[in-house]
Amino acid sequence: MTPEPLSDAQINELTSAFRVFSNATATLEREYRALQAHVQALTRELAAKNRALSESMARERSLEAQALRQSRLAAMGEMAASLAHEVRNPLCAMELFVDMLRDEVHDRPSAARLADQVARGVADLDHLVSNILDYTRLPQPRLVETDLDGLIDEALATAAPLLAGVTVERGQARGLLWPVDRGLLTQVLLNLLRNASDAMAGGGTLRVAIETGESVLRIVVGDSGPGVPAGSEEAIFAPFFTTKERGTGLGLAVSRAAIAAHGGTLALRPGDGGATFVITLSRAAVQPDAAMNQEA
Same domain, 114 and 53: yes
- Asked which of 87, 113, 137 is the last residue of a domain, the reply is 137
Number of CB atoms found within 10 A of residue 201's CB: 10
Residues 40 and 151 in one domain: no
Cα distances from 125 to residues 89, 94, 96, 97, 198, in angstroms, run 12, 11, 14, 15, 16
Would you call 128 helix, strand, or coil by DSSP?
Answer: helix
pLDDT number for residue 290: 47
Give the closest residue to 250 by CA, choosing from 95, 73, 66.
Answer: 73
- In single-letter form, the type of residue at position 140 comes to Q
Asked if the structure places residue 296 within a domain, the reply is no
pLDDT at 278: 95
Is there a single domain that holds both residue 155 and residue 212?
yes
Q: Is there a single domain that holds both residue 152 and residue 131?
A: no
pTM of the complete model? 0.60
Count up the domains in the chain and report the number. Answer: 2
**How far is the C-alpha of 235 from the C-alpha of 228, rounded, in Å?**
10
User: The domain containing residue 42 runs over which residues?
Assistant: 1-137
pLDDT at 77: 67
From first to last of its 296 residues, the chain has per-residue pLDDT tens of 566 776 777 777 778 877 887 888 888 888 888 888 888 999 999 999 999 888 888 888 888 877 776 676 667 667 777 777 788 788 888 888 888 888 888 888 888 888 888 888 888 788 777 777 777 776 788 999 999 999 999 999 999 988 888 999 988 777 788 999 999 999 899 999 999 998 898 789 999 999 887 789 999 999 998 888 888 888 888 877 777 766 667 788 889 989 998 999 999 988 767 899 999 999 876 654 444 444 44
User: Among residues 120, 137, 154, which one ends one of the domains?
Assistant: 137
3-state DSSP percent of the chain in helix, strand and coil, to 5 = 60, 15, 25
- Shared domain check, 117 and 34: yes
